[in-house]
Amino acid sequence: MITLETPLKNLPRIGPKYVKNLKKLGIATVGDLLFHFPFRYDDYSKILPVSSSSRGDTVTVEGEIIESRTTRTWKRKMFLTEILLKDDSGTIRALWFNQPYLAENLTEGKKIRISGKITGDASGLYFSNPAWELASRAPTNTGRLVPVYPETEGVTSRWLRWQIQFLLKFNFRISDPVPEKILKKLNLPGTDKAINYIHFPDTLDHALVAQKRFAFEEMFLVQLKSLQIRSSWQKEQAVKIKFNEKLIKNFVKKLPFKLTDAQRKSAFEILKDLEKSRPMNRLLNGDVGSGKTVVAAVASLQAINKGYQVAIMAPTEVLARQHFDSFIKLFSSYKINIGLLTNSYKMITCHPELVSGSNNKMLKHLPASLCEALQAGVQHDTRTNLLKKIQSSQINLVIGTHALIQEDIRFKNLALIIVDEQHRFGVTQRAYLQQKSSEINDGLPEKIPHFLTMTATPIPRTLALAFFGNLDISILDEMPAERKKIITGIVNPVERNKTYEFIRAEIKKGRQCFIILPLVEESEILTEVKAAVQEYERLSREIFSDLKLGLIHGRLKADEKEKVMREFAGKKIDILVATPVVEVGIDIPNATAMIIEDADRFGLSQLHQFRGRIGRGKYQSYCFLFTSSNSSNVRARLKALVESEDGFKIAEKDLELRGPGEFFGTRQSGLPDIAMENLANVRLIQIAREEAQELLKSDPPLKNYPYLKKALQKFEQEIHLE
Ligand code: ADP
Ligand code: MG
């Protein structure tokens, strides 16, 4: 018997090659296949007689093949299959390129249906590469709203349609995780109906209501999960860390700058949280450059001063390394031992007692680069040593990547975890990190660490509630005072050389520059690297042959990236060419110009983040948005960036122009596509939240909702760090 759990390899109609390819899409069982949803539909529902179809129409026609031939064009070595289709009203031609196997299928006398857009030339109207199927078959690929699926090598939408249509005939009973009364109230179909609607809708309305249903389900699970985490979080205990006013005042006084009011306020909110026995759960939301690090430092200092340990996590090794450097500087006049523990880096600040405790022999044979490190007050160490020093609390502050939370590290008394998410802030990912943080070996019996996350992406208020409704939020909505406005301009391709000259002049003045390359699909990282290398070589050879250029892209290892960043920071590189996947997070006050290629391909918030890398020093900075698009939409969008430097305003605009799906980007959000698309419906999220709240109030353990409970467990398994 076939069930939803049946592995596809047990189905005779699916060969081993398909089983293997489907795996790439994460599809292994019948259920997986049924839940592989289309991302759009081709509307072939208009069925017309041949004679009434006209050029430009997307239609379906049905008839008999009265002529058929397949030829090979010698010049281009291409197969061309051409048929003449006849119905009661007349005839029309159809052509297919490079599908030689069609010759045996599309033979004279067969009755078929074809769907597609009608084109035409001097010789008359024809279909080019239309979809087709035998007229005797139920409309699947033609003659209806046809689903188009995410595909992979060897797995086409056409194939998926046949398989899914076949499986749908079994009418599996799919247990519905959403309680019936909620579906009724919201007028949404149950899973059984919705699964049919989403694959083979009779009308677009059916497709939409099915999408809405599944989107609601996802949002509902997300909200339930985060409410559950919240309530278990609130039952936990944390250490109370008393606010030491003198300590903090002294620290602030010694800073080379004056804190902004927003920084003061946020730091105060965090210090207040630390005083409570209930663990802090706070999000610090501040634009790039708004100074989150120093706020994190205030909280860390307070905890360390009371004898506790603190862990700080960054999304990448390069950023972890940067935090390490920043905290060494910030805490230089305190006796605080800082450790950096990532895949590539195992380092500690070298206070005398630490140096003597580690491998002294090694020090004699240090290569030059390490000596440099030593002079800077840091020393390399082994992982084992670091772990020991963390366990004995010889290390007060541990800095690492998000992986830190997953490793089996034992602390002596970890009281505060700070997660610097930078651009990522997926709800599910956050929930996961938070859950993990409560499971960490903090060394404090019956207690869990206070939890602070920081994000650099300003989140528009409309979405913040839906996504982070169960968090306390501090906002840094004010930039450090002495920051100069960055002059931003939209540049046409014809002005490219002028811009290059401008940059050359800046470099002559001793400044530096970034060139950000266009966005390439994430799956195409190799293409991206190739394009980046080419552009780098072009610029080095043809444009800036007298200057020093550096290149940084996604395929470099952390230490390679860092080497380039260090050279840039040390002014050994004049122009840094970078791909957008690379976070160029290092603070380079001397960089005053940035070119962003194909700026129209980025979201406003992302452009704003790039731009935030310049304008950090005392010099006037310039940002050039290159675009070859003349569309007034594109220009209007980019203009928002020219006119504003307020990340929150830009984010609102971005949200308004692109919708939340694009705004968040699927990957960042951690939400499935279908939920993302329906995010436009902020109201739906609110409803999901209200319903989740109500349900948990009436039945906290979800005793009466076994399917829902099961779905939540499955959902939990799917949440993990990438
Ligand atoms: P982000 O919020 O992007 O993490 P950082 O914490 O890295 O920002 O701060 C960016 C830069 O601004 C750093 O060089 C930092 O020393 C500096 N900075 C932070 N706060 C202030 C302030 N109040 N006045 C001037 N400069 C500041
Ligand atoms: Mg930061």
Q: Give the DSSP letter string of 449-507.
A: -EEEEEESS---HHHHHHHHTTSEEEEE----TTPPPPEEEEE-GGGHHHHHHHHHHHH
Half-sphere exposure of 420 (CA within 13 A, CB side): 28
| C-alpha of residue 328 to centroid of ligand 1, in Å | 15
Among 587, 610, 645, 648, residue to substitute to test ligand 1 (most atoms within 8 Å of Cβ): 587
| C-alpha of residue 289 to centroid of ligand 1, in Å | 5
Tokens standing for 117? 């857009």
What is the pLDDT of the chain when averaged over all its residues?
86
| C-alpha of residue 292 to centroid of ligand 2, in Å | 6
Q: Whose CA is nearest to atom 23 of ligand 1?
A: 259
Q: Whose CA is nearest to atom 26 of ligand 1?
A: 480
Scanning 236-291, the segments in alpha helix (DSSP H) are 245-254, 261-274
Closest CA to 329 of 294, 288, 355: 294
Q: Looking at residues 182-190, what average pLDDT do you find?
A: 94
- Predicted confidence (pLDDT) at residue 180 exceeds the cutoff of 90: yes
What does the pLDDT read at residue 153? 84
What does the pLDDT read at residue 360? 46
| C-alpha of residue 321 to centroid of ligand 1, in Å | 16
341-345, 594-598, 658-662: range with highest mean pLDDT: 594-598
Could you tell me the CA-to-CA distances from 643 to 485, 494, 596 in Å, in that order? 10, 23, 17
What does the pLDDT read at residue 319? 84
- Predicted confidence (pLDDT) at residue 521 exceeds the cutoff of 80: no
| C-alpha of residue 708 to centroid of ligand 2, in Å | 39
- Predicted confidence (pLDDT) at residue 297 exceeds the cutoff of 90: yes
CB of 648 within 8 A of CB of 287? yes
Residue that the structure tokens 């290569």 belong to: 367
Beta bridge pairs of residue 410: 441
| C-alpha of residue 313 to centroid of ligand 1, in Å | 18
Pocket of ligand 1 (CB under 6 A): 257-260, 263, 286, 288-294, 456, 480, 587, 616
Number of helical (H) and strand (E) elements in the chain, helices listed first:
27, 23
Could you tell me the CA-to-CA distances from 99 to 104, 105, 218 in Å, in that order? 11, 11, 40
| C-alpha of residue 263 to centroid of ligand 1, in Å | 10
- Of the bound ligands, which one is closest to the alpha carbon of residue 326? 1
Among left, alpha and beta (phi > 0; psi -120 to 50; other), residue 422 is: left
What 3-state DSSP class applies to 620?
A: coil
- Predicted confidence (pLDDT) at residue 624 exceeds the cutoff of 90: yes
Q: Which atom of ligand 1 is nearest to the CA of 481?
A: 24
Q: Whose CA is nearest to atom 19 of ligand 1?
A: 291
Q: Whose CA is nearest to atom 9 of ligand 1?
A: 291
| C-alpha of residue 620 to centroid of ligand 1, in Å | 17
| C-alpha of residue 287 to centroid of ligand 2, in Å | 9
Beta bridge pairs of residue 622: 487, 593
What does the pLDDT read at residue 465? 63
Q: Which range (153-167, 280-294, 556-570, 668-682) has the least confidence?
A: 668-682
What does the pLDDT read at residue 675? 45
Q: Whose CA is nearest to atom 20 of ligand 1?
A: 291
Q: Whose CA is nearest to atom 10 of ligand 1?
A: 289
- Predicted confidence (pLDDT) at residue 663 exceeds the cutoff of 80: no
| C-alpha of residue 455 to centroid of ligand 1, in Å | 14
Which comes out higher in pLDDT, residue 295 or 102? 295
Long-range contacts of 104-109 (CB under 8 A, 24+ apart): 106/65, 106/68, 106/81, 106/132, 107/65, 107/68, 108/65, 108/66, 108/67, 108/68, 109/64, 109/65
Q: Which atom of ligand 1 is nearest to the CA of 259?
A: 23
Closest CA to 114 of 98, 93, 100, 99: 93
What does the pLDDT read at residue 660? 53
CB of 562 within 8 A of CB of 321? yes
Beta bridge pairs of residue 472: 282
For 138-164, letters b (16+ CB in 10 Å) and e give ebbbbbbbbbebeeeeebebbbbbebb
SS3 content of the chain, % helix, strand, coil (to 5): 45, 20, 35
What does the pLDDT read at residue 186? 92
- Of the bound ligands, which one is closest to the alpha carbon of residue 612? 1
| C-alpha of residue 399 to centroid of ligand 1, in Å | 18
Q: Looking at residues 251-256, what average pLDDT do you find?
A: 95
Tokens standing for 577? 């060419």
CA distance 156 to 158: 5
| C-alpha of residue 290 to centroid of ligand 2, in Å | 8
Q: Encode 541-604 in three state secondary structure.
A: HHHCCCCCEEEECCCCCHHHHHHHHHHHHCCCCCEEEECCCCCCCCCCCCEEEEEECCHHHCCH
Among 283, 290, 293, residue to substitute to test ligand 1 (most atoms within 8 Å of Cβ): 293
374-383, 464-473, 482-491: range with highest mean pLDDT: 482-491
* 356 confidence band (pLDDT: 50, 70, 90): very low
- Predicted confidence (pLDDT) at residue 403 exceeds the cutoff of 50: yes
Q: Which atom of ligand 1 is nearest to the CA of 294?
A: 6
Among 290, 312, 584, residue to substitute to test ligand 1 (most atoms within 8 Å of Cβ): 290
Half-sphere exposure of 364 (CA within 13 A, CB side): 2
Q: Give the pLDDT confidence of 25-57 residue by residue, as tens digits.
A: 889 999 999 999 988 899 999 999 998 888 888
Q: Whose CA is nearest to atom 24 of ligand 1?
A: 480
Strand order in the sheet with 622-626: 487-491, 622-626, 591-596, 512-516, 575-578, 549-552
Could you tell me the CA-to-CA distances from 189 to 30, 146, 210, 301, 706 in Å, in that order? 21, 21, 7, 54, 19
What does the pLDDT read at residue 581? 64
220-224, 326-330, 678-682: range with highest mean pLDDT: 326-330
- Of the bound ligands, which one is closest to the alpha carbon of residue 616? 1
β-strands 622-626, 487-491: how paired? parallel
